[in-house]
Structure 1
Amino acid sequence: MNQHTSLAPHASRLTLGVVAVALVLSGCANMSETQSDSAKGAGIGALAGAVLGGLTGGSKGATQGAVIGAGAGALGGYIWSTRMQEQKKAMEQATQGTGIGVSQTADNRLKLDVPADAGFAVGRSAINPALGGVLNQFAGTLQQNQVTQVTIVGHTDNTGSDAINNPLSVDRANATRDYLVGRGVSASRFTTDGRGSREPVADNGSATGRAANRRVEIYVAEPATTAQR
């Protein structure tokens, strides 16, 4: 009986934690994108902190855990700051009609999805003028938020062998980096990689699918640690 009774307060606290998170998430509908992302992270972090704190330290532990968890949840690995939101809007305007996709990833990175047809000739890594115009504006947005890190990943379709596709995907990523460095962005901010044909996003059995798979993905991340300095 005593064991059952001692578990009841923990269950009550966890139930209240779930309700609190639900209220936070429902309230996000009236927030800006930046506020909504931070609130969701804080709510989920608070619940996780309350669970761990409650199990290890009773009521006081649950309260302290919720506070710590809320802070960690709001920060995460990357943050979606006002500057990141402004950069996203600027790139959405710059890429209109180009076929280049602009989005926010689940882990709070800005993603530019550049189909090869919008940036490179088939089988080539030289940047075409249309993509160059977009990258000129992109370089400007990177200069406005210099704490961000940039990862560029090249991909190909499955036409041809790995001996051709793997280096081509790397060359396209490096060409994109070199173009941005040539516009004044520090080379130390970049990481590049090539995945060849290993990570398709569409069916390589059709021309449309192969065109979608020939792409460069650019990720911009603002580390949470920079917001704490």
Structure 2
Amino acid sequence: AGQGAVIGGAVGAIAGNLWSKRMEDKKAAMTQATAGTGIEVARTPDDQLMVNVPSDFSFDVGRADIKPEMRPVLNQFAQGLDGQMRVRIVGHTDSTGSDSINDPLSVNRAESVRNYLADRGVSPARSEISGRGSHQPVADNTSDAGRAKNRRVEIFLREPQG
């Protein structure tokens, strides 16, 4: 099983991202820091750490200003990040309003998170941002609860490749 595991691990590393002990440690720290908050911390199938911050912790409707409740989560995320780790921040909105409002709002939300993390030592050069507007909902937009789930920011962390 040893040789097969080594080959499988090498194929996994080539095909996706590297899931290291420090990634596992960061996942454990984020899971502990966000326990009971509704914030989702998970390992993605392609070996990234994903932190999904819903609107009740992240942003008010129509706003890109980070809510005070989100600051401790971002502080924990920034703490102890290796200088080589890469960060991707994706902003989302609900379907209220037009794409001409939601698309830039989602980018502005991602940018607010990047700027906050930069103030805590995470180099913007290691970060990328994007906005999806209302185009990738995770819940039904016909209810207040569903729209609240769709107003979110997702933060991904990965080890550098190569």
Q: How high is the TM-score relative to the length of structure 1?
A: 0.66
SS in 1 for 2:79: helix
Give the match for residue 114 of structure 1.
53
Supply the distance in 2 between the matched residues of 1:116 and 1:86 (Cα, whole angstroms): 26
Give the aligned residue type for 1:206. Answer: S
Shift of 1:173: 0.3
Structure 2 unaligned regions, length at least 5 = none
Give the match for residue 157 of structure 2.
220
CA RMSD of aligned residues (A): 1.7
**Aligned: 1:168 with 2:97:** no
**Aligned: 1:209 with 2:146:** yes
SS in 2 for 1:169: helix
Identical amino acids, percent of aligned pairs: 55
**Aligned: 1:81 with 2:81:** no
Are residues 169 and 131 of structure 1, via their aligned partners in 2, closer, same or farther at CA, if it must alter by over 3 Å? same
CA contact (8 A) 1:77 1:223 kept: no
Shift of 1:156: 0.5
Shift of 1:74: 4.4
Larger radius of gyration: 1
Give the match for residue 156 of structure 1.
93
Q: 1:178-211 CA distances to partner (integer Å, 9 max, x unpaired)? A: 0000011111110000010011111111221111
CA contact (8 A) 1:42 1:74 kept: no
Shift of 1:123: 1.2
**Aligned: 1:181 with 2:118:** yes
Give the match for residue 71 of structure 1.
10
Supply the distance in 1 between the matched residues of 2:12 and 2:122 (Cα, whole angstroms): 31
Supply the distance in 2 between the matched residues of 1:74 and 1:151 (Cα, whole angstroms): 19
Supply the distance in 2 between the matched residues of 1:131 and 1:42 (Cα, whole angstroms): 41
Give the match for residue 137 of structure 1.
76
SS in 1 for 2:31: helix
Structure 1 unaligned regions, length at least 5 = 1-19, 25-38, 44-69
CA contact (8 A) 1:153 1:218 kept: yes
- Higher RCO, 1 vs 2 (CA within 8 Å, ≥6 residues apart): 2
Consecutive aligned runs of 4 or more in structure 1 exceeding 2 Å deviation = 70-77
Give the match for residue 102 of structure 1.
41
Q: 1:19-75 CA distances to partner (integer Å, 9 max, x unpaired)? A: x7xxx7xxxxxxxxxxxxxx4x843xxxxxxxxxxxxxxxxxxxxxxxxxx633344
Supply the distance in 2 between the matched residues of 1:172 and 1:80 (Cα, whole angstroms): 27
Give the aligned residue type for 2:70. Answer: L
Give the aligned residue type for 2:147. Answer: R
Are residues 75 and 82 of structure 1, via their aligned partners in 2, closer, same or farther at CA, if it must alter by over 3 Å? farther
Question: What number of residue pairs does the alignment pair up?
Answer: 160
Give the aligned residue type for 1:100. Answer: I
Supply the distance in 1 between the matched residues of 2:124 and 2:150 (Cα, whole angstroms): 27
Give the aligned residue type for 1:109. Answer: Q
Give the aligned residue type for 2:22. Answer: R
**Which residue among 74, 78, 84 is the counterpart of 1:147?**
84
- Bigger helix share: 1
